[in-house]
Amino acid sequence: MIHVYGVVDGLDEVPPIAGVEDAPLERRRVAGLDLVLSRSATPPSAEVSRETVLRHAQVVEALTRRSAAILPAQLGRGFRDEDQLASAVAEQAAQLERGLERVRGCVEFGLRATTELPPAPEADTGSAYMQARLDQVRLQDDLVERLHEPLARLARETTLQRRGGGVTAAYLVERDEVPAFEAEAARLEHADGVTVVCTGPWPPYSFAAGTP
Amino acid sequence: MSNDSLQYQVTLLDLVDRVLGKGVVLSGDITLSVADVDLVYVGLRVLLSSVATLEELDSGAASA
C-alpha cells in the first residue's frame, strides 16, 4: 500500500525522518508533479492510530518547511501500486497545479472562538425557538466582526463556520504577513467574555481541497 | 483550566481535524471509513476535557 503525504513544489530535499509505520520517505515525479510517499507491506489496520495521525502530520509539517508550495494529502486514502497512483494523479493534475499556485508561499492559521453563554434552552414554542436562533446568530455576527474580520484582512483566503455560540475559521496567510497576523491574533485573544484560541502556523490543509 | 492547557488541547483538536478532514483527496482506495474517523474523535474525548473544545467535537471531521 502506498501512503501519500502531499504534492509539493520546490522541495529542497526529502526530510530525514521516517513515515507512517517507520517506512522511509520517497519522492516520486508523477504526471509532472512532485509527490512524497512511503510504502507499507501490510494493508492498513482497521483502526487509525494516534501514532499514524501524528506521523502523517509530522511529515507534512517537515515538507512544508522545505517547500515553496504544498498540498497536504488527506489521511485515509491509499494506493495499491504505482500504476493506480499515476492514473489518479494524472486525472487530477491540472487541478493540483492550480492548487499549488493557490497556496504558494502561504501557511495556515486556525481560530476557534466560543462564548461562555450557556447553549440555548430547549425551546418549546416557535417564537421561543426563533428568538433563541436570533440570539445565536447575533452572537456569531459579533464574533465575526470583532475577531474574524481583523484577521481576514491579513489573509489571502479564509474559511468560516458558525456553530452554536461560536465560530471556527481558517486563514491562508503569506509568510511575510505571519508576524503581523500573529500580533493581531495575540491582541484578539484577550477579548472580553469570549474564549479565543488561535493555532498555527499549519500546512495549508484547509485550502488544499478543490480550487475555486 | 489554564490558557496553556486550553491552547494545547485546541491545537491537538485542530491537528486531528486537519489531518483527517482537510487536505487534498487523491482518488485512491479508501483506507479509513467514517466509523474509523469517529473512533479517533471518541478517543480524543478522553484527552480533551475543555468544555469549549468538547462541544465542537460533535461537528469535527464530518463537517469538513
Give the residue with greater pLDDT, A129 vs A105.
A105
Residue A122 has pLDDT above 80, yes or no: no
- pLDDT of A44 reads 58
Confidence category of residue B59, pLDDT binned at 50, 70, 90 = very low
- pLDDT of B37 reads 72
Q: Given CB atoms, is B16 within the 8 Å cutoff of chain A? A: yes
> Is residue A104 within 8 Å of residue A201, measured between CB atoms?
no
pLDDT tens digit string along B27-55?
Answer: 777 777 666 777 777 666 655 555 445 45
Mean pLDDT of A25-49: 83
- CB contacts, 8 Å: A91 with chain B: 27
Q: Given CB atoms, is B39 within the 8 Å cutoff of chain A? A: yes
- pLDDT of A119 reads 56
Query: Is A166–B14 a contact, with Cβ atoms under 8 angstroms apart?
Result: no
> Is residue A20 within 8 Å of residue A41, measured between CB atoms?
no
Distance CA A23, CA A78 (A): 14
Closest-CA distance, A29 to chain B, in angstroms, reads 15
Confidence category of residue A40, pLDDT binned at 50, 70, 90 = confident
Query: Is A77–B30 a contact, with Cβ atoms under 8 angstroms apart?
Result: yes
Of A56, A65, A74, which is closest to residue A19 (Cα–Cα)? A56
Residue A90 has pLDDT above 90, yes or no: yes
Q: Which residues of B2-36 are buried (b: 16+ CB within 10 A; e: fewer)?
A: eeeebebbbbbbbbbbbbbbbbbbbebeebbeeeb
- pLDDT of B2 reads 61
Return the residue in A2, A60, A107, A205 with the most chain B beta carbons within 10 A, the one to mutate for interface testing: A205
Closest-CA distance, B29 to chain A, in angstroms, reads 5
CB count in 10 Å sphere of residue A192:
5
Distance CA A59, CA A15 (A): 8
What percent of chain B shows pLDDT beyond 90?
8
Strands, E assignment, chain A: 2-9, 26-30, 33-39, 69-72, 77-78, 106-115, 157-163, 166-174, 194-202
- pLDDT of A17 reads 95
Q: Given CB atoms, is B38 within the 8 Å cutoff of chain A? A: no
Pick from A53, A92, A199: CB nearest B19: A53
Q: Evaluate if pTM is beyond 0.95.
A: no
Sort strands B29-30 and A26-30 into parallel, antiparallel or unpaired.
unpaired
Q: Report the mean per-residue pLDDT for chain A.
A: 90
- pLDDT of A78 reads 87
Give the residue with greater pLDDT, A85 vs A164.
A85
